[in-house]
Amino acid sequence: MAVTRQPGNPFSCGLDAAVAVVGGKWKPMILWALGAGGVVRFGELRRSIDGVSEKVLIQQLRELESDSVVRREVYKEVPPRVEYSLTELGKALNEALVPLGEWGHINMDVIVANKEKASAA
């Protein structure tokens, strides 16, 4: 398969475009959590993703929202309530990540061993 950029298109292939949306440490975890939880409040989402800071979670959610993958709904209440959910595009993307997650699960021991080997070197 040729990997060439078309005029006016910043991506060289579909994988390039997809990685531009899900690239980063936390975005796949955010998508996974939203896919499992349906409509999720911010605090609940933060608690479900171990290790992510509030600042980074907000940034990643904004990027996913600008890519039309995540929907953010703000309710004018005191205190304010903000809920996140996947759009149809986000649901399709989450489904595309399922085989990748399965591959990671099947090969986790090898991946961990290789990472440990690399960090020891």
pLDDT digits (tens, 9 = 90+) for 23-49: 988 999 999 999 987 899 999 999 999
Contact 30, 46 (CB under 8 A): no
Does any domain span residue 8?
no
Q: Is residue 2 predicted with pLDDT exceeding 70? A: no
Residue whose C-alpha is closest to residue 16's, from 27, 7, 4: 4
The domain in which residue 23 lies consists of 14-120
Q: State in Å, rounded, how far the first CA of the chain is from the last one.
A: 35
- Model confidence band, residue 60 (pLDDT cutoffs 50, 70, 90): very high
Does any domain span residue 5?
no
Whole-number Å distance between alpha carbons of 39 and 36: 9
pLDDT digits (tens, 9 = 90+) for 67-86: 999 999 999 888 888 999 99
Q: Can you say whether residue 68 is alpha, beta or left, with left for phi > 0 and alpha for psi between -120 and 50 degrees?
A: left
**What's 98's domain CATH number?**
1.10.10.10
